[in-house]
Amino acid sequence: QVQLVESGGGLVQAGGSLRLSCATSGRTFRSNAMGWFRQAPGKEREFVAVISWSSSSTYYADSVKGRFTISRDNAKNTVYLQMNSLKPGDTAIYYCAAGTSLLPRLRAEYNYWGQGTQVTVSA
């Protein structure tokens, strides 16, 4: 059974940091790009960041560029999202997903999803 399990979410004050992890099991995603999305209440799920299978390329949404860093450890089958300088607008459920193309940014380009982890940033 393929599983992507996010962890590391929580409540943090504005300006603080969190590190999300996404552990995969059931199959290897070492050849897949891996991405992070988020969904705030009443809003569509939006792209946050993606990393290529080799870690050679990354891409970020403008709203998080310079504050968030995506990385991966293929030996541990884990993807990370380091989030610094958090803002109340970053409050959302964060999802990791496995992509089907080189550096996907659209939801339709991802075929495996985790259940999400809640991030809440207080003012």
Per-residue pLDDT tens digits for 86-122: 999 999 999 999 999 999 999 999 999 999 999 999 9
Phi, psi of 89 (to 5 degrees): -70, -10
- Residue 86 one-letter amino acid: L
Instruction: Return mean pLDDT, the chain.
Output: 96
pLDDT tens column, 37-56: 999 999 999 999 999 999 99
List the structure tokens of 107.
């939801």
Give the list of residues 6+ apart from residue 14 with CB closer than 8 angstroms, or none.
86, 87, 88, 121, 122, 123
pLDDT of residue 25: 87
